[in-house]
Structure 1
């Protein structure tokens, strides 16, 4: 399934708008990753532990959104947006939400 952040797809015509589709995934903090991230903060650099978790979470949210679009009969999603939010007591969880418009293209 084609997923794009743009409102149209060059070379294709949108024949039907099927509605807004979403995917949300909430992840909790993990003590081991927090320790690794703390060490990274001390010496500098990127936190691979958090980055890989964030990538997995984003991919899961996208898969959820695409499944919803397929159920509507879509072959593409346009206008896709991502939102990352820290939630829970003392920011112990993060939510990744993705949404877009399910469409059919020619």
Structure 2
């Protein structure tokens, strides 16, 4: 499966448009990562725990996008966009959404 942010796949013709495909992940950050991030916020520096959680969620959202596009009969997803949001009363949840156009290319 080809996944790209560009509106086409270089050197390959789009034969069929299957529709918009999405991959969504909503994840919470556990107490220890939240505590570590709070200390980093106070003292400065990067939050490895949050960065790991973000990378994991992004990877899972792209995998879900690929699976859903494949179920639609696509062999590529073009124009991929990844969005990030925080959710919940205390902003303790992270949502990562990957979307793009599922297509069949030569």
TM class by smaller structure: over 0.9
Matched, 1:18 2:47: no
Look up the match of 1:29: 29
Matched, 1:56 2:64: no
User: Does the 8 Å CA contact 2:29/2:53 hold for their aligned counterparts?
Assistant: no
Look up the match of 2:99: 99
Look up the match of 1:82: 82
Unaligned ranges ≥5, structure 2: none
Cα offsets for 1:7-56 (capped at 9, x unmatched): 11111111110110001110113110011112222332211110011010
Counting matched residue pairs gives 106
RMSD (Å), alpha carbons? 1.0
Distance in 1 separating the partners of 2:29 and 2:87: 11
